[in-house]
Chains A and B, each alone.
Chain A
């Protein structure tokens, strides 16, 4: 009990200090763009992407995104390693009760629509809000739906791993092609096109499609690893 009250008082001090500092010293809604002024005013000419967040994530800071994808990959690998050998070797039913007919049918109807929506989100990443990570999360959600509704459903691991490796290598190869053609890793070597069209922004759509498929496959692998644990 005393531990709880001590931590409560400490947390209250942290909260008040944080909030009062923010409220007094950092005016809300003020224009404090220093670095991003360059991105906002030159971003469309530089990259050809109408969505400035995508321009920053994939073009200006593409190397950062490569590291981010690597972190997600390492986490998925780590989850596979931690949960190794915990599932049932002969896959039988995970739950004792089946899902109801409405859940089963609804998930089957929604599954292709969710896949298409996820693909739409990452293909249009340079034009609309969204991008590879968001689209990949939507695709993984579609697979999660199938897992929840069908107690015997399971993905084909070999195909997913192969897809993941191919798209991961695509990302790295695009970067190396930029290095060979222009002298800079991940440099945009394709024409920018006119901003606002689907085929514009150089290498951004290629990289975002690769990231979308890779994130979708990785998150589905995480879901599969966690659902496969025997109860």
Chain B
């Protein structure tokens, strides 16, 4: 239950940062918060009571492991998240070089 609460909280913080913050770096931080929240939500949906890591070694039986499918999907999601964050940061470096500011209101054509 606390995992659901934490993931909903992380998603809310990420959305708030995206909506209310002006600083571009903080907006990217919001995207990563959103990312972590969704990852935590998927992982906790795959948890099974009393389950252990899905590695069938040392006498672990198939009936006593957690769901491996969300973990595989989250592995993909983490890699995509890293790519998105890195690309967004490099665009922000360009924007800062050009406009000498990180405030999205002062950057032309970037108001909401």
Contact = CB atoms under 8 A, between A and B. Distances in A.
Interface of A: 3-4, 7-8, 10-12, 14-15, 18-19, 22-23, 26, 28-33, 35-36, 39-41, 43-44, 50-53, 55-57, 61, 64-65, 68, 71-72, 74-76, 78-79, 82-83, 86, 127-129, 131, 133, 195-196, 215, 219, 222, 225-226, 229
A14 B83 CA distance: 27
Contacts of A68: 76, 79-80
Interface in B12-37: 12, 15-16, 19-20
Contacts of A41: 62
Q: In the complex, which of the residues A44, A52, A222, A225 has the most CB atoms of chain B within 10 Å of its own CB atom?
A: A52
A40 B12 contact: no
Contacts of B56: 43-44, 50, 52, 195
Contact of B65 (A14, A28, A40): A40
A86 B57 CA distance: 50
Contacts of B41: 22
Contacts of A22: 4, 8, 41
Q: In the complex, which of the residues A19, A68, A86, A195 has the most CB atoms of chain B within 10 Å of its own CB atom?
A: A19
Contacts of B45: 26, 32
Contacts, number: 144
A223 to B, nearest CB: 9
Q: Give the size category of B's interface with A.
A: 35 or more
Interface of B: 1, 3-5, 8-9, 11-12, 15-16, 19-20, 41, 44-45, 47-49, 53-57, 62, 65, 67-69, 71-72, 75-76, 78-80, 82-84, 86-87, 89-91, 93-94, 97
Contacts of B20: 3-4, 7-8
A41 B67 CA distance: 11
17 contacts: A7-B19, A8-B20, A11-B12, A11-B15, A15-B9, A19-B4, A23-B4, A26-B4, A36-B69, A43-B56, A71-B83, A75-B87, A82-B90, A82-B94, A83-B93, A127-B55, A229-B93
Given A64-B76, A215-B79, 7 more contacts: A7-B16, A12-B12, A15-B12, A40-B68, A68-B76, A82-B90, A127-B57
A7 to B, nearest CB: 4
A50 B57 contact: yes
B94 A83 contact: yes
Q: In the complex, which of the residues A40, A43, A56 has the most CB atoms of chain B within 10 Å of its own CB atom?
A: A40
What 5 A-B pairs have minimum CB-CB distances, sorted nearest first? A75-B83, A29-B49, A15-B12, A7-B19, A36-B69
B54 A51 contact: yes
Given A7-B16, A31-B48, A86 B97 contact: yes
B25 to A, nearest CB: 13
B72 A82 contact: no
Contacts of B1: 23, 28
A56 B68 contact: yes
Contacts of B11: 14-15, 18
Q: In the complex, which of the residues A3, A11, A26 has the most CB atoms of chain B within 10 Å of its own CB atom?
A: A11
Contacts of B12: 11-12, 14-15, 18
